[in-house]
Every structure is written in structure tokens, then in C-alpha cells.
Structure 1
């Protein structure tokens, strides 16, 4: 076979294979932190916490008081409605099986205003977010993966 045809064939094969590759591949999943794992022990998906460095995590098994210290403030987009949410350096609250109450450190932007998420409930296949007396229910599967903080690479 003619060497020029072989080179042309190789170039076409290379271009074709690149056109089928995902142009926006997902970054590799990082190993979940102890805080992410502890969420699952209480019946919540790991995706309620962003995929960022957890510098500290503590939960009082008697009272349910918890504290999560992140490597910095974090901004994410929550599925499925693309609400922008921010996580403070420190998130606190009370956790029991299927319920997080007295939550501080997570805010969401909706209706042109910032709202504090005050509680989260796990209800069957759904997660219910509480903002004061108002609630919003979403499928738990939307939170199976921890979102990366915007403008940061996920930790590995």
C-alpha cells in the first residue's frame, strides 16, 4: 500500500476517534470524606456536601450536633432547577436519622433573593429542603454525586 495513503488513513482514523470522545468529560470522582460517608449513615446522599476538602468533621452522637469545616467557601449549582447555592467555611446543625435541623451555613438563591436552608429531610426516594416554613422536594438521585465547587477542580 502507498505510504501516503497509510498516513492519510491514520490521520482520518485519529480525527474520527476524537470526534466521538466526550468534549466535556466528568472529572474523576474523588474519595468521599468521613463527613460524606457519615451523611449516608444518617440516610442522606453524599451529594448534599460539595466535592471539596473537608478540614474537620464532628458529630455528637448523643445530641446530634454536628459541624463540618470546609477548605473554603463554595458555590455550586443545585440540580435539577439550577439554583445557585453557597456553602460557608463551616456548616453546623443537628442530625438524626433522616433529618437535619437547625442548619446554618448553606444558602440558596431563588426568586432574586438569598435564602438560608434551615433543614433537610430524607423522605423515601426524595430529599426535602426547608427554608423556614417553605419546602421543596427533589429526587434523592439528583444528589448521588457531590458537586464540584464552581471555579475549582474537584479534590482527588
Structure 2
């Protein structure tokens, strides 16, 4: 064995370790885990996120779904466009675009979502609705929201 064999082996081991360490630390959080990092429940996003972008300095974000998503929570009918955006900060989403609620016959944009004690408030500007934040630990399913028992879905 040549005198250079051991340093080469050490270099290869270091390079492999560095590459694996970098790949593991550079993995992108899921959108649901990213929301949780801002002290918001992941269920503010329905199931089916395919990708997202987040500027951690400004809080600007975009979340992408394959298609629009509609479901009902209690008596509120909600619609998420295929791309939603806004600004996220701890316990608060503002300038929200792409999420709306049906009020009587009209769709109204939800502008803000924020934690208020143990409640999660959805605001349309002039009015808001509060729900227990704990109810949003799971994400709603497009089509049936949180009440999907007995319904079959194809993937």
C-alpha cells in the first residue's frame, strides 16, 4: 500500500460525509411543517400541497396545489385557488390571496388568518369567524373538509 492511500481514503470519507450532511440539512420542510414553525396549525392548508416558496426574511410565500380546492367547515364553504400567497409571521398570515369563503351568494376573499388565544380567526376585513385552533391540527380534505368519514376518494 502506498503512503498516500490513507490520506486519499480520509479525503473520500470526508467528502462523502460532507455531501450527506449537506443534503440532509438542506432538505426543504413540507409546507405544513413550515406553517407550524410560525406557530400556526398546519390545517390552515388543505391536503394536496405540491410545492411552496417562502422568503424567510420577508415572510412572503406562495403555496401551489394541482387544482382549486373546495370544502365546508361547519357552515362555511371555502375555496382555495391552485396558487395562494401572502405574508406569514409568527401566529399571523396577512395579505392573503387565493382563499375565499362563500357568504350568502357571494365569494369573499379571506384577507387574514391569525391566532387569538386558543382560537384561529379568519378575517375578510369587515368581519371574522373564530374556530378552536386545535381543530386545525389536521388538514382538511378537498371536497369534504374535516368530515370525510365513509367517503371514498380516488387518487
CA deviations 1:29-77 (Å, max 9, x no partner) are xxxx71111111111111111111x221111111110000111111111
Higher RCO by CA contacts (8 Å cutoff, separation 6 or greater): 1
Q: Matched residue pairs, number?
A: 120
Structure 1 segments (4+ residues) deviating >2 Å = 151-155
Q: CA deviation at 1:111?
A: 2.5
- Determine if the alignment matches structure 1 residue 73 to structure 2 residue 51: no
Q: RMSD of aligned C-alpha atoms?
A: 1.9
Query: What residue ranges of structure 1 are gaps of 5+ in the alignment?
Result: 1-32
Partner in structure 1 of residue 54 of structure 2: 59
Partner in structure 2 of residue 84 of structure 1: 77
TM-score (norm 1): 0.71
Partner in structure 1 of residue 34 of structure 2: 38
TM-score (norm 2): 0.71
Query: What residue ranges of structure 2 are gaps of 5+ in the alignment?
Result: 1-28, 145-151
Task: State how far apart, in whole Å, the 2-side matches of 1:82 and 1:45 are.
Answer: 20
Task: State how far apart, in whole Å, the 1-side matches of 2:31 and 2:154 are.
Answer: 16
